Amino acid sequence: MKIFNTLTRQKEEFVPIKEGEAKIYACGPTVYNFIHIGNARPICVFDTLRRYLEYRGYKVTFVQNFTDVDDKIIRKANEEGVDYTEITKKYIDEFWTDVKGLNFREADIHPKATENIEKIIEIVSGLIEKGFAYEADGDVYFTPSKFDGYGKLSHQPLEDLQAGARIMVGEVKHEPMDFALWKAAKPGEPYWESPWGKGRPGWHIECSAMVNRYLGETIDIHCGGQDLIFPHHENEIAQSECYTGKPFANYWMHNGFITVDNVKMAKSAGNFFTVRDVAEKFGYEPIRLLMISTQYRSPINYSFDAIEQCRASLTRLYNCRDGIDFEMQNASHGEVDKELEKMLAERRTQFIEAMDDDLNTAAALAAVFDAVRDINTAVVGKNASAETCELAAEVFDELTGVLGLVYNRKKEVLDSDIDAMIEARATARKEKNWAEADRIRDELKSMGIILEDTPQGVKWHRE
């Protein structure tokens, strides 16, 4: 697979540190608000990257953090007169509602900044010892001019960056580009004890600490939105590489911006949409499709028309898949349609070639829709054999699954089926076959049916 590496500005063959494994870190949200449409893009894109690498046989370890202490969180908590943890807890819950709606698979680890203070202090102390950072009035600052590699990710020489920077009145830092690793606590702010007094971490250091703790000194892929390249990711590299003396991440992937009706989305521009706003009107899945409808580095324009188009495309996908199932119901055994078999094998190759080319989901989707056309022509309403239907279903599920699409197909469960299963469970219990009784209960649970044993007998309800 080839990946466009922001570090080298080139498409490079992906060569993992350890063969067959991929360690990925994605910067997560600062939890003080609902996620917006712009946040949905890295969620969907890097979830798709993870699925694709797994599909190609990699063992992926995926870590995404929550920034759960920061100026914006503290400001919001003060405005609402609540403890900051109430804000972060609420918006982490809301985050889960939205990302599960988008079919984002939970990462292997979702560490929080506040759970990593010890590691943060360890790294900050190490950076002071090595002479890259210094303490001033309870703050600790990192000095970029001491790190030769500063600017290598954003491709800006340090002199250019320095030219635009100033030390503000009241600031205690030595050089204009110095940034805070640790901030002394102001009255009323949350704080932790540290060698420099009561304080809390700066934003950038948490990612360096979490990568180091959960994934190691060097990782395969670090990803996030394009807006994080500078200063966040540049600073992460500086902190980590000065601390460990080793490369921090071998590949850097950054997704492009979202515009709304061709204007950059901003609260001040009045064109700001949360994922929740859009999902309530159109559902979550069209958002996921929109986010992967373009190669991840290109900009995406969100508009009413664009989301409507995604809805229409999804209808085509669902109709095709339902069509296969419908055909299957009356299909008899027979030969596999060789022509279809050959065409779908080509679609799969086309799909893999697209995804191998820097995760070109737009071209991969084109392969999926070509496969849909092939299936509609050869299977739906065509008296296809059961074997042909199975082949069509398999390829369809395989390709749409890698993209994380078509995930809302809930089978209708009839009351009569449920009653029959409850009956079978009662029989198993009478025969003291507890394992079978439990298995039936679990199967019903997976269908969204909850059983309740009452003195009047078994009652059930849907989740």
What is the Cα Rg of the chain in Å? 26
Give the whole-angstrom CA distance, residue 18 versus residue 28. 25
Number of C-beta neighbours around residue 263 at 10 A: 11
| Nearest CA among 237, 402, 409 for reference residue 322 | 409
**What HEC string does 68-92 produce?**
CCCHHHHHHHHHHCCCHHHHHHHHH
- Cβ 329 to Zn ion, closest distance in Å? 50
Decide whether 27 or 249 has the Cβ nearer to Zn ion.
27
Decide whether 183 or 347 has the Cβ nearer to Zn ion.
183
DSSP single-letter state for residue 23: E
Decide whether 104 or 248 has the Cβ nearer to Zn ion.
248
| Tokens of residue 288, six digits | 């996921």
Decide whether 242 or 355 has the Cβ nearer to Zn ion.
242
Decide whether 243 or 351 has the Cβ nearer to Zn ion.
243
Give the whole-angstrom CA distance, residue 272 versus residue 270. 6
Decide whether 27 or 237 has the Cβ nearer to Zn ion.
27
- Cβ 211 to Zn ion, closest distance in Å? 9
CB burial readout 158-180, b (16+ within 10 A) else e: beebeeeeeeeeeeebeebbbbb
Which parts of this chain interact with Zn ion (CB under 5 A)? Answer: 27, 207
Decide whether 236 or 358 has the Cβ nearer to Zn ion.
236
Residue 14 makes CB contacts below 8 A (sequence gap 6+) with 1, 2, 3, 22, 220, 251
- Cβ 197 to Zn ion, closest distance in Å? 25
Give the whole-angstrom CA distance, residue 427 versus residue 416. 17
| Tokens of residue 244, six digits | 């460990």
Decide whether 69 or 389 has the Cβ nearer to Zn ion.
69
For 193, phi and psi rounded to 5 degrees? Answer: -70, 145
Q: How remote is the C-alpha of 255 from its chain's centroid?
A: 12
- Cβ 294 to Zn ion, closest distance in Å? 24
- Cβ 64 to Zn ion, closest distance in Å? 10
- Cβ 27 to Zn ion, closest distance in Å? 3
Give the whole-angstrom CA distance, residue 181 versus residue 135. 10
